[in-house]
Amino acid sequence: MDARARSRSELSALAATTARPRVLVAPIPVTPTKPLTPSHVKFLLWVDVLYRATSRITTVDFLYGHTTGNACQQTLGFWEYLDRTSGDTDYASWSEEDVGNQYIAYQAEPVKACGSALAPYRDAYENHGWVHPASARLLHAWNEHYETLGVYDPGLRRPTRASMDIEELVDVLSAHDLCLDMRSESDGIYMDLTAFGLPLRKLVTADGLMNHLACTLRDIVPLVRRYDQIVLLHDREMTADYLLLQRAIGQLGGQATRIAVDRVAIDGVVRSGRMGGWAGYTVPEIASACSANEYPDRFRLGLRLFLLATIGIGLGLSFDFRLLRRRIRDAERLLGHADPEERDTEMHEFLLRLTGHKAYVDPYRLAGALLIRGRHVPIHDLVKAIFT
């Protein structure tokens, strides 16, 4: 028996004798307030490949919905701004850029609306799953983009309701000494992990407005004990909050892993979506420049190779159409050399090697492996199940 066959045999034996852990993939959602930029696309593809690959080797659930953040102050404030400045508008005719430009204007306002002005929007979402027509317009457009990108849709346009209300969350956190409720002192609610050397973090303002961390906790806390591992994926700008979230999950009896994904620079500059800078780099513009409609499989595989392997998880190269087209040519080569006779068991064993003893498959290592010539890679199965 040669070395590769022995390794394959050992991995098969390990998989057969090891209980399949239950994994929850929980990425931070993109709030429906702006167009999808290359940074968003990189994150979506990172999550998509991780989820699809990991689901081939263990039991995986997906906690994700763009409406998860709709109860937070940032999104509610934007909805109030739109109604205050645009009035009764038919948003069905608006483009993603139209909505995004209004979001830039909202962020530039020096004073934001108070809790009493946002309360009707919060109640409409919390009690009825209502979504502002401008955000509904974006979600409709994103649904089409997901199809273009070949991204798994976990319920993009389905309103999601939090698993617990804020009072239930306070009760659970307080029972584990993780909460400081200062409402009796005309203040807000704080996450308190100061015993672990972490700063206080306000979750709810004195007038009842929740931030993104509070909304995320309401979704994740009820699920902590159902999974062996929770994989938290987030924008690196949110690292401080996700450190708190990871520690809280541990104190509640769970296990969590964090993955921070950096944004993509455009012309050497990294911008937040609230600052604009997306002209020429929206999903339709990228797809059109790369003939995605004519060659969808090449585009989807090439885009993943470019954003996951070439740019990678960190702050790497700027978005470069020439490099993207080069990766699309690599995708064409890979698709042309894929062997449909490969066995699915080969893919399973190959993916196990890319976990690094973690509960999930590393998208960077997986995408990079496809670009290494001369290495035995089950291309056909990987492309069909994970990359297109």
Domain spans of the chain, in order of start: 3-19+283-387, 22-140+148-261
In this prediction, residue 18 carries a pLDDT of: 53
User: What is the number of other CB atoms lying within 10 angstroms of the CB of residue 171?
Assistant: 12
Q: How far apart are CA 52 and CA 382, in angstroms?
A: 10
Look at the block and give the residue holding tokens 């709030």. Answer: 31
In this prediction, residue 7 carries a pLDDT of: 44
In this prediction, residue 163 carries a pLDDT of: 80
In this prediction, residue 154 carries a pLDDT of: 81
DSSP state of 318: B
Instruction: Please identify every stretch of the chain with a pLDDT value under 70, giving residue numbers as ranges.
Output: 1-19, 65-67, 159, 315-316, 338-345, 373-375
Q: What are phi and psi of 268, to 5 degrees?
A: 80, 0
In this prediction, residue 1 carries a pLDDT of: 46
Q: How far apart are CA 38 and CA 13, in angstroms?
A: 41
In this prediction, residue 6 carries a pLDDT of: 47
In this prediction, residue 347 carries a pLDDT of: 87
In this prediction, residue 367 carries a pLDDT of: 93
In this prediction, residue 341 carries a pLDDT of: 59
Q: How far apart are CA 330 and CA 48, in angstroms?
A: 20
**pTM for the structure as a whole:** 0.90
In this prediction, residue 10 carries a pLDDT of: 45
Amino acid (1-letter code) at residue 271: R
What DSSP element (H or E) covers 146?
helix 133-149
Q: How far apart are CA 85 and CA 74, in angstroms?
A: 17
Residues 6+ apart with CB under 8 A from 150: 48, 296, 300, 387, 388
In this prediction, residue 68 carries a pLDDT of: 73
CATH superfamily of domain region 22-140+148-261: HUPs (3.40.50.620)
Q: How far apart are CA 203 and CA 240, in angstroms?
A: 13
In this prediction, residue 153 carries a pLDDT of: 86
